[in-house]
Amino acid sequence: MGTNHSHTKVHFPEPLKKSALLAAVFFCILFSLAGCLDLPDDPETGNKIERISLTISQPGTADSSPLKIHPGDSATLVANVYPQQFRDEIAIQWFYIDAQIKKNLGKGLTYGIAKNFTLLPNYFVATDKEGNELAEAFEIIVNSPPKLSETTIPANGDTLWGSQNMAFLFQWKSTDIDVALGMDSLRHSLQIDGDNYPVGPLTHVMQSGFSAGKHSFRVIVEDARGDTDTLGMRTFYVYEKVGGQP
């Protein structure tokens, strides 16, 4: 007995086959491109804040990267948030911390330091709106700048008598409260007729080599913290002395 097998074939129309194939290829390309895209993270979990840096500004001085202030001057401690568009999303809490106490000094991106401050912040905690915290210790250096007295030898306009080899006294006076407390050191630089003579802590030297005529000098003092003071240029006149008499 014979068996009849009947095979049923579904025949798509030719245009339909081509369009389905194209659609599949297109879909695959689209899917690949979509997979290659670097989709941004969820805003709620993204790391938006790159860094927070502190600067100090005082009247008459630019922001200082070493956190240094002069005593007796008011100052403003500023927390700089990068990128800056997120600065409003950060809350800064300022603290003073030592072995005994932890005192909350205030809140805000800036902290005003009064002239007669008693405590300076040395620790901050930054908090974003999701409650993430970043804490960091820092130190504000209180440095008294050096000061040069206006009185010098020779004084401005002085006349000195002597030959070219005669050594003349150059003397000045510099003060720095921190040096007196043993917390700092001073370096001086004597500039005579444009030549620079680093003399370290010396405040008087004798120098020769002055021909008859007009000469000038000035003194610059710098402390170990980088604060300086400069005297205005002094002028003196040298006259040749022959046979012991002017």
List contacts with another protein (CB under 8 A): 162-163, 165-167, 190, 195-202, 204-209, 241-245
Residues in the chain: 246
Contact of 146 with 228, CB cutoff 8 Å: yes
Q: What is the DSSP letter of 242?
A: B
Q: Looking at beta carbons only, is 106 or 209 nearer to another protein? A: 209
Q: What is the DSSP letter of 144?
A: P
Q: Looking at beta carbons only, is 177 or 205 nearer to another protein? A: 205
Closest contact distance (angstroms) between CB of 107 and another protein is: 43
Closest contact distance (angstroms) between CB of 220 and another protein is: 14
Closest contact distance (angstroms) between CB of 165 and another protein is: 4
Of 112, 106, 145, 142, the C-alpha closest to 124 is 106
Q: Looking at beta carbons only, is 140 or 184 nearer to another protein? A: 184
Q: Looking at beta carbons only, is 88 or 240 nearer to another protein? A: 240
Q: How far apart are CA 101 and CA 95, in angstroms?
A: 10
- Gyration radius from the chain CA atoms: 38
Of 198, 232, 228, the C-alpha closest to 216 is 232
Closest contact distance (angstroms) between CB of 246 and another protein is: 10
Q: Looking at beta carbons only, is 85 or 165 nearer to another protein? A: 165
Contact of 81 with 70, CB cutoff 8 Å: no
Closest contact distance (angstroms) between CB of 164 and another protein is: 9
SS3 assignment, position 58: strand
Q: Mark residue 162 as left, alpha or beta (left: phi above 0; alpha: psi -120 to 50; beta: remaining).
A: left
Residue 82 is which amino acid? Y
Of 113, 96, 114, the C-alpha closest to 105 is 96
Closest contact distance (angstroms) between CB of 201 and another protein is: 8
Q: Looking at beta carbons only, is 56 or 192 nearer to another protein? A: 192
Q: How far apart are CA 218 and CA 207, in angstroms?
A: 14
Q: Looking at beta carbons only, is 139 or 195 nearer to another protein? A: 195
Q: Is the peptide bond before 198 cis (omega within 30 degrees of 0)?
A: no
Closest contact distance (angstroms) between CB of 155 and another protein is: 20
